[in-house]
């Protein structure tokens, strides 16, 4: 199952009285990042679809009950002329993404707020590759689990999956599916089920470094989390 399919699976059955959630984004990277948001499944875009987040700063965003979508950070962006980023770019030419998705590879945070039974569903996904570490921590309910990918996968990314900047530095690590398009890596065609699409040597590179994150399409058992009535702290480079 690809990320789009998983978001459809997590689409909420609206529950009257479900609570909105407040998300705080904090940047602990030694450089500015530009977080982006994208609604899925026909949901309305949030009030902010892209914004600047300098080192050591935070920004908050209210997410309504019933919303489903993703967050990610764009990195190494140029603000001279048309806005462009080396990773996660949404190709809008401006800081806001306005409903456009991010370029691969990007570390994704996926959420459904107030879904089935009023639960929030969330995960960190590397199915579209990795650009920077991220963590998700529920606030206000100590019984809910955090999730993350805190390792710098760029430092161990195989050459064939690497994305490099003009100076040759590795700034992203693509998935095998993105790189090769082979059904056995993408879990499509004859490999379109959990039985026929097991982990691969490539997906295990991601899983070994970030055991709580999705490493490939059918990585649900260790990577999907739920909580109810919480707010959330998302830290880039935790």
pLDDT in tens, 101-125: 999 999 999 999 998 888 999 999 9
* Residue 199 resides in a domain: no
pLDDT at 115: 82
Mean pLDDT of all residues in 159-163? 97
pLDDT in tens, 166-215: 999 999 999 999 999 999 999 999 999 999 999 999 999 999 999 999 99
The count of domains in the chain is 1
pLDDT at 79: 85
Q: How many CA atoms lie within 13 A of 36 on its CB side?
A: 27
* Residue 83 resides in a domain: yes
The enclosing domain of 57 has a CATH number of 2.60.110.10
pLDDT band at 92 (very low <50, low <70, confident <90, very high): confident
* Residue 156 resides in a domain: no
* Residue 99 resides in a domain: yes
- Is 100 exposed, middle or buried (CB count within 10 Å of its CB: 0-12, 13-18, 19+)? middle
**Quick check: 175 and 227 in contact, CB under 8 A?**
no
How many angstroms separate the CA atoms of 160 and 126, rounded?
A: 16
**Quick check: 38 and 52 in contact, CB under 8 A?**
no
**Two tokens, residue 99:** 């409903």
* Residue 166 resides in a domain: no
* Residue 125 resides in a domain: yes
Strands 58-63 and 21-27: antiparallel
* Residue 107 resides in a domain: yes
Which residues constitute the domain of residue 121? 3-150+210-236
* Residue 109 resides in a domain: yes
> Looking at the whole model, is its pTM more than 0.85?
yes
């Amino acid at each position: 199952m690809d990320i789009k399919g998983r978001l459809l699976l997590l689409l909420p059955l609206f529950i009257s009285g479900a609570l909105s959630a407040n998300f705080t984004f904090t940047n602990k990277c030694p450089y500015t990042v530009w977080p982006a948001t994208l609604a899925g499944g026909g949901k309305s875009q949030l009030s902010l679809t892209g914004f600047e987040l300098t080192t050591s700063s935070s920004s908050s965003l209210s997410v309504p009950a019933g919303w489903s979508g993703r967050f990610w950070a764009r990195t190494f962006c140029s603000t001279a002329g048309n806005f462009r980023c080396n990773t996660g770019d949404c190709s809008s030419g401006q800081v806001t993404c306005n409903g456009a998705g991010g370029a691969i590879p990007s570390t994704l945070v996926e959420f459904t707020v107030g879904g089935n039974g009023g639960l929030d569903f969330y995960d960190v996904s590397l199915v579209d590759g990795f650009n920077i570490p991220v963590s998700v921590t529920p606030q206000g309910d100590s019984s809910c689990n955090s999730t993350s990918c805190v390792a710098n996968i760029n430092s161990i990314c195989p050459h064939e999956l690497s994305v490099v900047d003009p100076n040759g530095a590795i700034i992203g690590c693509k998935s095998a599916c993105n790189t090769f398009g082979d059904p056995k890596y993408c879990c499509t065609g004859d490999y379109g089920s959990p039985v026929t699409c097991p982990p691969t040597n490539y997906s295990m590179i991601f899983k070994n470094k970030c055991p709580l994150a999705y490493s490939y399409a059918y990585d649900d058992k260790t990577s999907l989390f739920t909580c109810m009535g919480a707010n959330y702290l998302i830290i880039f480079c935790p």
